[in-house]
Chains A and B, each alone.
Chain A
Amino acid sequence: MKRTVRLHEIANARSGDKGDRLNIALVCRDPTHYAAVATQVTAERVAATFAARNPTRVVRFDLPKLAAFNFVLDDVLEGGVNASLGLDGHGKSLSFLLLDLSVEIAGASKPARMGKRQSV
C-alpha cells in the first residue's frame, strides 16, 4: 500500500543564506521515510520548484545518518539580503515552499489534510 503526502506531513525544513546562496535542510521526522524522499525529492525536482527564482545550480547533499538532505541553491536570493528588493532577502520563508512537494510513501492512505495553496 502506498499513499501520497505532502513533505510537510513527514519532514522538517529550515532555510539559511550566505550571500546569494540558499540552503534548505530537509529532515525526515521518521528515518524510515529517508529512502522514499531520496528517490523522489531530487535536485532536479527542487530546481523546478524554484524555477521562478532561476537557480543557476542546485545540489543535493545526502546525510543518511541524520535522515536528512541539504539542498544548496545558487543565485536565488536576488543578490542576497543586502541587495534584494523583496521582502524575504534571506529566503527564510522558502523552506515551506519545499515542504509543499508531494511524495509517495508506504502505508494506508489517510484522508487529505486541509490547507491548499497555489504553487508558483
Chain B
Amino acid sequence: MEAKVFIGSAAGFAGDRSDAGVPVVEVLAKHSGPRFLMYETLAERTLALCQLERRKDPTRGYSPALDRLLMPVLKQCLAIGIRIVGNFGAANPPAAAQRIAEIAQSLGLRAPRIAIVEGDDLSGRLSATEFASRETGGKILAQSCDIISANLYLGAQPIAQALDQGADIVVTGRIADSALALGPLLHAFRWRTDDWDRLAAGTLAGHLLECGAQVTGGYFADPGAKDVPGLAEVGYPIAEIDADGDIVITKPAGTGGLVTRLTVIEQLLYEIHDPAAYLAPDVVLDVTGVDVVEIGKDRVRVTGARGKPEPEMLKATVCVEGGTLGEAEISYAGVNAAARAALAADVIRERMRRRAPGLTIRVDAIGAVSVLGNSSVAADLRASESEDIRLRFSAQSADTAQIEMLLDEVEALYCAGPAGGAGVRRRATPRLASAACLIERRYAEPRVTLFGASA
C-alpha cells in the first residue's frame, strides 16, 4: 500500500496558462511515491466545438490546447515517471493519443504508453426525442433536434483501469472533472468501489484541483480585502492524499499565490449546489462535515468528506445549434456622453423594432450599466454621470440576416447617429446551446484501449 499519492494540477480549463505545469512537475519530481499530473480542459461547450472539428477532419476533434499544455512538461514527466491524466481527448481521444505520440517523437522522447478512455459519446445512441425527455432544468432540446454532441460524464474507474495497465498518459473525453484525481487514487490505493467515504474524499480532492489556481489564490484576489502575493506567477495546486483519504493542498515553493483556509473553502463550494449531496458518477459527496485546517505556510489539510452510494442516473451534456450571436459596440465620451449614448440606444431600438420586430436586442453601457444592470439601460443611462461610455448591442437568432442588420445599424450610427460616436467594432459568432440530461447508467460503456495495440 502506498503511503501518499501526489496529484498536481496543470490546467483548470482549456485557456489556462501553458507554463503552469512546470513548477508543479519540479515539485512532484522531488517526491517519491505515485505522482500524477491532471489536466481539466473541457467546458460544457468545448466538446461540441471539438465534435464539429472532428466532422471536418477525422484526425482532429481533440482539445486545441493539447500541444500548448503538454509540450512544456512532457519530457520531464516521462523521464521521472509522473503520469498524466487529462480529458483533452475531447471528441476524439484516439486522435489525441496519436498527436501525443507525435509530440513525443518530435521531442526525441521514448514512445509513451498512452491509454484511451472512450464510451462517453452518446451520439446516435438516443434519439433527439429521447434526449429531450431526459433534459433537466430547461427545454432547449424540445425546440431543436439538430444535436451536435451528446456525452455523458464517465466515472473514475476507467482511468484506474488505464493506469493499472501501465499507462504513462491517460487520455479521456467527457469524464467527471473530479474523476481525473479519483482515478489515480483508486489505482494507487485499491479503494473498494463501495468505500463511499474514501471515494468521497478522492472526489473532493479532484474537485479542489480541477480548477487549477482557483484553490491557490487565483480567482480570489481583491486588493485591500484579500491580497494575493505574486499573482502573475501564481502556483498551481498539488494535493497530497493518504490511504484514508486525508488531503493536504499545497503549491510549489517560490511561486505566487497562497493556500489558506479561505482559498480552499471558496473552491470547496465552487459550483456546488446542495453541499450534502454533490453528485459525481462514483459517489454522492457530502462536504458538510469537512474540516479545513491550516497546518503550515501554504499547506491546508482537508478531512471529513462523507460519501453516499452513487446516483442512479448519470449526467450528460447535449449541445445543439444555437443560432448566431451578434455584438456591436460604439463609444461616446466627454461632455453629455450619457445623453448621446442613450439617444443612440433609442435610435437603434426604434429602427430595429420596425425592421426586425421579433428580435430581442440587449443594450449594455459598459462602465455605467452592464453586468449588474437589467435591460432598461437607456433610462439608467440618462441618469449616469459617466463621460466615457461604450455601448454594446447584442442579439441572437437563427436568422443571420437579422443579426447582420443589427450590426449594420450600429455601424451606421457613425454618420447618422448622435454626435461623436466612435470606434465601432462588430462581430457575428455561431453559437451552441447546451442542455443537461440525466441518462440511465446502462448507456455508459467505458472502454480502455492502449494506443497502438491492435483493436
Contacts of A8 in B (CB 8 A): 222, 225
Contacts of B370 in A (CB 8 A): 86-87
Q: Which of B137, B226, B394 contacts A20 (CB 8 A)?
A: B137
Contacts of B269 in A (CB 8 A): 14, 16, 23, 25, 27, 63, 66, 68, 70
Q: B362 to nearest A CB, angstroms?
A: 4
Q: B44 to nearest A CB, angstroms?
A: 7
CA distance A114 to B288 in the complex (A): 36
A45 at the interface (CB under 8 A from B): no
Segment 49-88 of A: residues with Cβ below 8 Å from B:
52-53, 61, 63, 65-66, 68, 70, 72, 79-83, 85-88
B227 at the interface (CB under 8 A from A): no
CA distance A47 to B178 in the complex (A): 31
Segment 124-161 of B: residues with Cβ below 8 Å from A:
137-138, 140
A104 at the interface (CB under 8 A from B): no
Contacts of A9 in B (CB 8 A): 225
Contacts of B268 in A (CB 8 A): 25, 66
B431 in contact with A120 (CB, 8 Å):
no
Given A14-B266, A65-B291, A87-B392, A23 and B271 touching (CB < 8 A)?
yes
Given A65-B289, A93-B371, A18 and B266 touching (CB < 8 A)?
no
B271 in contact with A18 (CB, 8 Å):
yes
B343 at the interface (CB under 8 A from A): no
Q: B184 to nearest A CB, angstroms?
A: 25
Q: Which of B270, B290, B371 contacts A66 (CB 8 A)?
A: B290
CA distance A63 to B275 in the complex (A): 8
* Number of residue pairs spanning A and B whose beta carbons lie under 8 angstroms apart: 114
Contact with B along A6-37 (1 / 0, CB 8 A): 00110010101111110101010100000000
A18 in contact with B291 (CB, 8 Å):
no
Identity of the chain B residue whose Cβ is nearest the Cβ of A83 in the assembled complex: B433
A27 in contact with B138 (CB, 8 Å):
no
A97 at the interface (CB under 8 A from B): yes
Given A18-B271, A65-B291, A87 and B137 touching (CB < 8 A)?
no
B243 at the interface (CB under 8 A from A): no
Contacts of B396 in A (CB 8 A): 83, 85
Contact with A along B254-298 (1 / 0, CB 8 A): 000000001001111111111110000000000111111000000
Contacts of B395 in A (CB 8 A): 85
Majority SS at the chain A contact face: mixed
Identity of the chain A residue whose Cβ is nearest the Cβ of B292 in the assembled complex: A66
CA distance A25 to B264 in the complex (A): 12
Q: B349 to nearest A CB, angstroms?
A: 14
Segment 284-315 of B: residues with Cβ below 8 Å from A:
287-292
Q: A119 to nearest B CB, angstroms?
A: 9
Q: Count residues of chain A with CB under 8 A from any CB of chain B.
A: 36
Q: B147 to nearest A CB, angstroms?
A: 14
Segment 211-245 of B: residues with Cβ below 8 Å from A:
219-220, 222, 225-226
Q: Which of B275, B288, B362 contacts A85 (CB 8 A)?
A: B362
Contacts of A66 in B (CB 8 A): 265, 268-269, 290, 292
Q: Which of B138, B267, B371 contacts A86 (CB 8 A)?
A: B371
B446 at the interface (CB under 8 A from A): no
Contact with B along A84-102 (1 / 0, CB 8 A): 0111100001100100000
A16 in contact with B271 (CB, 8 Å):
yes
Q: Which of A17, A65, A94 contacts B271 (CB 8 A)?
A: A17
A23 in contact with B273 (CB, 8 Å):
yes
Identity of the chain B residue whose Cβ is nearest the Cβ of A25 in the assembled complex: B269
Q: A114 to nearest B CB, angstroms?
A: 10
Counting chain B CB atoms within 10 Å of each CB, the highest count among A12, A19, A61, A85 belongs to A85
Contacts of B435 in A (CB 8 A): 19
A12 in contact with B262 (CB, 8 Å):
yes
Identity of the chain B residue whose Cβ is nearest the Cβ of A16 in the assembled complex: B271
Identity of the chain A residue whose Cβ is nearest the Cβ of B361 in the assembled complex: A85
Given A66-B268, A82-B44, A87 and B262 touching (CB < 8 A)?
no
A14 in contact with B360 (CB, 8 Å):
no
B374 in contact with A12 (CB, 8 Å):
no
The 23 listed contacts between A and B (C-beta, < 8 Å) are A8-B222, A12-B220, A12-B262, A14-B219, A14-B266, A14-B269, A19-B137, A19-B434, A20-B138, A27-B266, A52-B374, A63-B288, A65-B289, A66-B265, A68-B265, A70-B272, A82-B433, A83-B140, A83-B322, A83-B396, A86-B362, A93-B371, A120-B373
Q: Which residues from chain A sit less than 8 Å from chain B, CB to CB?
A: 8-9, 12, 14, 16-21, 23, 25, 27, 29, 52-53, 61, 63, 65-66, 68, 70, 72, 79-83, 85-88, 93-94, 97, 120
> Ordered nearest first, which 3 A-B pairs have the shortest CB separation?
A25-B269, A16-B271, A85-B362
